[in-house]
Structure 1
Amino acid sequence: MGTFVVPDQHGVCARRTLAWLRAGLLATVALFVTGLPAAAQDATWVLNPTESGPNPGTADYNNVANWTPATVPIGTATFGVTNSSSLSFSASSTSVGGWTFNAGASAYTFTLGEVFFGRTLTFNGAGIVINGGSATINSITDHAPSEIQFLNASTAGSATINNSGTLSFSDSSSAGSATIVNDSFTGSAIGFSNTSTAGNAAITNNWTLQFGDNSTAGNASIRNNFFMDFFNASTAGNARIIENGFLVFHDTSTAGNATITNNGGSGMRFQDSSTAGNATIINNFDLAFVNSSTAGNATITTNSGGTTSIQDTASGGTARFILNGTGALDISGLTTGGTTAGSIEGGGNILLGANTLTVGGNDLSTTFSGVITPVSGVFSGTGGLIKVGTGTLTLTGINTYTGGTTFSSGTLSVSGDANLGDFSGRLIFDGGTLEVSGAGFTSSRAVQIGSNGGTVQADTGSLALSGVIADLGGATGAVTKTGNGTLVLSGNNTYSGGTIINAGMLQLSGAGTLGAASATTTVNGGGTLDLGGTTQTQAALKLAGGTLQNGSLNGAITSTGGTIDGLGGAASLNATAGTTLVLGTNTFTGGTTVSNATLTVNGSLSDPTIAAGGLLNGTGSVGDTTIQSGGTFAPGSGTPGTSMTVNGNLAFQSGALYLVAVNPSTASFANVSGAATLGGASVNATFANGSYISKQYTILSAGSVSGTFGTLTNVNLPANFSDTLSYDATHAYLNLALNFTPPPSAPNYGRGLSIKQQNVANTLVNYFNTTGGIPMVYGTLTPSGLTQASGELATGSQQTTFDAMNLFLGLLTDPFMNRNGGVASASGAPSYAEEGDTNAYAATRKTNAYAMFTKAPPIPFVPRWSVWAAGYGGSQSTSGNAVVGSNDTTSSVYGTAVGADYLFSPNTIAGFALAGGGTNFSVVNSDSGRSDLFQAGAYIRHIEGAAYITAALAYGWQDITTNRTVTAAGLDQLRAEFNANTYSGRLEGGYRFVAPWAGGLGITPYAAGQFTTFDLPGYAEQALVGSSAFALAYAAKSVTDVRSELGFRTDKSFAMADGVLTLRTRFAWVHDYDPDRSIAATFQALPGASFVVNGAAQASDSALTTASVEMKWLNGWSAAATFEGEFSDVTSSYAGKGVVRYTW
């Protein structure tokens, strides 16, 4: 498109209108100045005007008779209700400060001018204020022009103005919210000058509308149907302009923030130094920027059929250009070689000619799907594209410009080579980014790198550049690769600024190079340099978290972390920080040094040297390896059982550290094919948590081992274990020893173990030493855990059983329990018979006054039966022993017995009894047990003079249940159920004599022997809750407890009205010949792990006391109650029994 030319008629019209406006304004000002009254006059339009105006049907505005007071106002003219609201002007010039229309005013019409006579109306004060009614001014130009002027700060208010002459706004006046129609009559003009504004007016221009000086279109709504002009420093403000004619901006005028729709006519034009400012322009026709004008920061939308052209030395500024349909942006008419555009978007066309378009200054991110072409009409050229700004420009069209593409800043995104113009165009990088989206493409373009470098961002696909990448002039910028896709270089590149790979992959192919051999390549985290099987030479390669793979490299590699995979050549590796991972087969020959960094070899690597602060680990293989002082070798992955192979020799220096990881079954280790020189290096063993632990671990295997390791330390070594090192000709071992003896620290402070704890500890240690390992739950037992594990509760049933049988035998043989049945009383009381025997009492009294107590006269002897029933029970507490490790125990027994006696002779009685009851027993750690009890026994008693002898045998059967809680490794509840048998016997003899005290006190010294045999079966515990790790199996055992008693009994009887009351006591020394309570136990989960558990032992000697009361009635019934106590330094036992008997 050529230079835009304004049609002549518009130019003539514009010049003529401007001349009229200027002449009118000068004349008006002159008249105003010379005719200014001394003081303003105000008046009100009358209700019934009498004087007619020059126009038919109107009243005369300039006749004083029509005003109150009778003067034509030059200050404020006030209008209300009137019967004549059509006014015309008889004076050639009328000046007034303003018109005020009161509320309720009529609708007024003012006609200015008549045939052959033009009129002038000037507002120089407030202007038009409409509070009610309305005001319409019709300016008539018929052979002579009429003129309406607004001066000073006057306003047109909300009036309606139909202009056929000249309407001018000067000074700071405003069109207010008026409705203004500029007639199409030749010469009709509206002008704004000085700082006047169109306000919020609605203006329809059918001829000429001009803004000059510093005036503004304000917020007006303007429809231009012919000619509209902004000149000087005027502005379109925030106006809404519909352009159907010709709209031009001159001088330094601006479109401001206006919204302009250009529909046709002669279009729009910015010329001189005018600017589109921040306007929003919708261009449906022609929009031209000429001379040195600029599109500013406007938003310009060019739709189908429209063209926006930038010509001469004009500029696109930082405008946003939106091209829809066939809309075009044409810069081919520029004489400057190019221009700028803030952004481009849409699907239209951009015509470059020989010019370059620089895009991106507004930093927006946009997409342009149209065509950028060098062709424009008859013009064609080598125009190019430069991307600037921080935004992203996405090109999706098939572009044909030939001047190449420059990436200065921001991002230019494409999906194909055709998006970058003709293939002959080069790519110049000088700080910008080329983004490749989609699957990618191949390009043979020449590429140049400026001093600011360039970035290629391949998102998902790949970009293959086969052209040569070279420096731009003498620049030394770097090539940077970003994005997760791949950049493939196959050209013999010569750029010297180096290569930086931040993400994705840079791959070399064929003759591709990394530029000059003197350059430096950096591979950052997330980036991969794939040498593609080529050999590259670089002054240095910095591995900073990325991956280097697949080829040969000549140069020094400095690694602060990253991955090396399949690298050959003469490269050297110096790892100085982070972790460098080695994968695949690596054959580079320059050597490897690690200091203050980690080298993880899961592939193969030759001859590393690990200096101070360095760490070598992994599961791969290395050549001859040296671990210097301060260096660390940790073979394997850190998981016990993994290893590293040293294909050669391994040498530790003094001060080096060897790390091994240990779990229950294995340890990490080094497998050395050559010689391993241990050099006094320290060893640190880290133990993983587990359920099992072994006695010995192999931590190094070699062709030969020389020297020894130095200090051994450990981490997380389980409690109770200690570690040592040992060696043979080809191995180094880590050995563990188990020892439960508490250390000299809290909470035991080296107090050692009790006998019971030591028994458990000894069997666990023996199991560990014998089998080579032990479950951790046993190996880490504390002293309190050993106590819980011992199963001491199992001994509780023994003493409880002995107590139960002792009570039962005492019930059978105790002479205090009225068990004589009348022995020796039928033939007179022998010297043994107590006074309480009714027969004995009656026979030995000096009088027969008490004969009434007998039911019949004595008979020589009658064999007879008697039956009885008794209840018994008791409890015992025994203190534990700290040395033995036994706990305090408690037990209780209860039962009921029934029996029958038969009197064989005056001196002999025998009988039997059956009993049923139960027992309970517990230890202080909440373990407890119980049993159901059955007992049966027989007894015999014979009296000879004052002496007696008693014997009894008894049998007991129990159904026993134990419940044990172990909290050493969680909460385990263990239960055992079993049956046991008991056998018992007692033999007692004594001699009674009567002491002279208290009216005769019976004293019977006696001696007794008693045994109880408890047959315990073998039985085992089962877990009700938790684990069965501590469930024990107990061995069968027969326990016999023998005791003796030596003491005396006393008795004293009292005659009662219906019988005899007898009080008795006993005092005796008891000796227990087998006071210990123990049982053999085995951990069910550890076959062979047996031990003896000791319970609370009884005292060997104790004191026995008894107190009894008995009542015998003459009717054959008798009852007795006894309380017993047995006491020692460790035992307190209390028991009671009661019997009821009937004899016939």
Structure 2
Amino acid sequence: MPANAVCSTTQFRFTQKTLPRAIAIALMVAGSAAAVAEPVNPNGGAGANSFFGIHAGSAGGDPGTTIGGVNGDSGSVGTGAADAASNTEPLGGKPYATGGASGGMGGAAEGVTSGAGGGGGGATTQVFTNGYAGAILATGGSGGNGGDGAADAAPQTFFSSGGGGGGGAAAMVVQGANGSVDLLGGSALLGGVGGNGGLGFIDTFAASGGAGGTGLSVSGTNITVVVEDSAVVRGGAGGTGGMADSSPSFGIAGSGGKGGAGITMNNGYISVSQLGSVVGGDGGAGGTYTGLVGKQTGLGGVGILGHDLNISIAGAVSGGLSGDGAIRAEAILLTGGVNQVTIEPTAQIAGNVVAAGTSTLRIASTVDQTLDASIFGDYDTPAQYQGFTTFEKVSSGTLTLTGTTNYLTPWNVRTGTLSISSDGALGPVGGDLTLTNGTLEVSGSGFTSYRNVALQSVGGVVQVDNALGNLVLAGAVSGPGGLRKTGDGTLTLSGTNSYAGGTQVAAGTLVGSTSSVRGPVQVDTLGMLQLVQDTDGELSGFLAGTGTLVKDGTGRVTLIYDNSNFTGTTFISGGALNVINNSLGGNVTVYPQGTLMGDGTIVGNVSVFGNATLSPGKDKPGTLTIGGNLDLKTGSTLRIQSDSDGQHASKVVVNGSATLNGSVASVEANGNYSTATNYSILSAVGGITGSFSNVTSNLAFLQPTLATVGNDVTLTLVRKEVTDPGTDNGAGGTTPTGGGSTGGGSTGGGSTGGASGGGSTGGSRPMTFADAANSRNQRSVANALESLGSGNALYRQIENLADGQPQSVFKALSGESHASTASTLRTGADTARALPLEHFRSNLSANLLAGAPTAQAGTSDMGTNLSSLPSSSAKPMWAQVFGTWQTFGGGDAARVTQSTSGLFVGGDQAVGGGWRAGGALGYSETRSRAGEVSSRADIDNYSATLYGGRSFAAGAGKLNFLAGGSYTWHDIDSRRSIDTSGFDQSLKSNYSASTSQLFTELGYALPVTGALTLEPFAGVAWSDMRTRGFSESGGSAALNGEGDRNTLTTTTLGLRSRTAFALGKLEGTLRGTVGWRHAFGDVITHSRMSFNGSDSFTVAGVPQARDSALVEVAADVALSRNVSLGLAYGGEFGGGNTQNSGMLNLAWKF
């Protein structure tokens, strides 16, 4: 035993009955792999073969024989320090190795279980601090072989298992921090081989082989390891599993030991040069039965193992093979943290590269290479590269990805080119693409990608090779960098993008819109920028270059920057290109359906084809300057607008010559032309050739004419002419305005004169505003507007209306809602008459109740004892909540909807001689709306009513007479919005009105049965509504209203019914009414108004129905002797008007 070896001499005694055989065997196996680290011995001497083991014997008896123990001590390792080959430099290039001692053989006991073989000794290794540099040949010490199992003495009843082989040692161990290991060419670090497992005797377990040692073990942090050309780092092979002697019973052979890792390291950098290699050790072969097949083989060792590593591979990295050669271990296994693996084109990777944590795989293509995208995948898939979270293309070459992958592979092209022919090569769409000074190349016919693209500060390139190919990037393109388009094919940007570095079209076509193409934009000679959009937008940044700009789609693209550095050609084939404030260089051609507009400068020539438009200005008049020549081809249009003060119109200034080849000048409405102004619309320094073939306009009242004077074309507008047929007055006819010299009185006779002068020959006159009106209200307001005169802004606004606009404008300006409000107010005022009379009518016809004195006798002069008289069922005091909903239509005015709700309280009493008199007070709130003319009125109504009457006995029934009067005051808050044809005004006013009413009714109530009474009736009501004057505010269309008076008389014929009913203990009354109402007088209300400075005009509101049908249904229930509760519905229908009302009333007596 070496002097420095440590062992224990403690002995343990067991009897035969202490432990079952199975437990003894398990303990043997558990203790079979002990290893002891000792100083290395370059001579590799073997230790002694056995040490102290378990003492077997009877408890407390003869100590027995000492044999190899169940957990036998391992063999001793060699002693002595490592020696230099030349005695001048440690490890001076000479190979060295140390070995662990083999374990002792298991010993036998007397009649008890025998001990297992001792475990093989573990080898030691050389340790370096903070690194190493130079050429080195080092082999880690081999593990000792495990001791064989043993049997007891004859008759060999008990047997022991073999000991496990010792683990091989690392060839080199590096500790410390911030150092480096530079293995120069010719270096070799070979991990120690694991010891073989011991023999399992007869029917016991054979032991496993020891694990191979690591080639290079780095336990420090921030260490750099460089494996130079021709340097090798290899893990040691695993030991062979122990053999099982299966005769005569059974045995279990040991597993082969696992191969050692090539390099184990955390938190550092590893570089493997082109001719360098890192290899995991092979696994050991499984042990065999005597003459039979072996057991499980050992797994190979990982090439590089660790976490938080930055690895660059240009050489060979391999995982070791299993003991049977069937399975290769991972070439690289990253167990977590933040990692980066760079694969150079010369790299040779045997085995999978598996990464956990946040790991980046970088493909460094210094030369062109092709990879199938399916090699990238998730764990436990056939993919070679598993678990990486990001992927990068670096170096100047081209990496072509073929095939597809279902694994999320976010790519960052840092340098060089990444070439694909399908989006599937980049994985699922959730994996973004980042271009950091790299190029994405697309071959084939192209495809559509919805993945997001990020352009880093140095920008990126998209190259579409096939001239017929089209790559559509439908995701968001963002980032601080710019985009460069190359290749003959087409790149389409269809998303909403925000990249900030601008755009260059070096070759091919870039298709996009102002929301997808970010400026500034450089279009080179071989490039084309095609802006296709159906909405309006502005190009961000300036435009420059010598290429081609195409505007397509129905939308408008506005160029707001100075684009004079663009000297290429612009084609407008759809929508509009708007050049404002600045210049656009080069020539511009406008094709059919296209428009060139703006108030900037076109540096070159402009050609406008048929069905295309040149429109100086944008949404207002402006001057468009053309530096070269202008060619307006046949069928082209020059569109003209005027400014708000009417002093200027759109104009084209041509510094060259202008050719007018039968083009058309179009004068647009919604400007503010003046009939007193001549507008210059085109001037050409180099002269004008040809003329406009026509001048068109969509103006309703003005007719444009053109004149060419020298180098200028001028526009003049006058009122349109309309036919004036004259009139046939029976004495030969009048002379038509503006013509009709034949006829009139010259021919005489009426017939000849009338036909010739008045009707047939006719004449013409300037059109008036009223000629465009199509109703009486519209004509009335049109004449008032005409009276304002041409100096008035409102007049000019009307004069510049487009065809089809005057009718809606006249209706909006008429203020007809004020007249309609007066009409609807009368309906609200009717409530002040109808509600009190309904209660009064019930009290007139009230029956007498027996028992108590009559409360309303009014006969204090009677000699009769009042206590003996019956009491009345009348309920003189009442309160009623009501709501009504009305719709009014017909006539010239817009349809009106109205709702009213309120409360009335009232009462009546006997006043003597059978007469009763009463009164009521009420408040209601009305909301009136005329949606067609955007008008509303909110009205507060305050009412007072006086009434009286008497019931006369007449035959079998009673003749009921009622009469009264009411007065209602109305506070009106009116709002009108005029938002049509260039008008945008909100007008408001507050004013008041009052309604006075007189009414009477005569009915004959005839009992039909004991419970049912029918009452035919006739009634007359007269109302006088007076509206006070008002003045609106809010704009030029504000009106001044005069005080108006409208009277109306109605007659009503109808039939009422009343019947009593019982509801449990409650008694009630059902009432119903049908009738016909006829109105005469001011059925249509009128309001007289004026604009500021205009003549007065009168408009009509919604009409009252001349004839309408009435229907009412009501129910009252006596809640007690003195209190009743009622519900009622009333409706009136006729003449396009409807009125519905609901009422809740409470009546009581006292």
In which range does the TM-score fall when normalised by the shorter chain?
0.3 to 0.5
TM-score, with normalisation over the residues of structure 1?
0.35
Higher Cα Rg, which structure: 1
